[in-house]
Amino acid sequence: MTSFKTWKFWRTGRITFFSIDSKFAEQARHTARFHRSKSIRGPYVDKNGTDMKNGGASVIDSGNSAWAGPGGQDIEGISIIARQAYSTAENGAPKLLISDLYWDSSGWPYYN
């Protein structure tokens, strides 16, 4: 099941929509995704132009060796993203991660 507890906001003539893919029962399998649209009513598409109704989604974070299951993101303004993840070094202890949010030349979000 995909969860759409997310944020939408207007930037550069488009609405960016962040979501969490939680197809798996384990919390550590979440991925943070995004889509965008020119209209609040959609369609919302990924970087390849695939509608989210047809499975389109651009992944902004799928975890790494230090952090599993990133998701539950919150956007502050247009420059900070906060999200939860599970520490692999601490037996899956939940942690809050905060990063600067950037926008590429095409208006797509990313963070380091």
The pLDDT tens digits of the residues spanning 71-88 come to: 777 777 778 888 888 999
Assign residue 13 a region: left if phi > 0, alpha if psi is -120 to 50, beta otherwise?
Answer: left
Domain map (residue ranges) of the chain:
2-105
Which residue has 């207007």 as its token pair?
10
Buried-exposed string 83-94: b where 16+ CB fall within 10 A, e elsewhere: bbbbebeeeeee
pLDDT in tens, 10-37: 667 788 877 777 655 455 567 788 888 9
- What is the pTM (predicted TM-score) of this model? 0.75
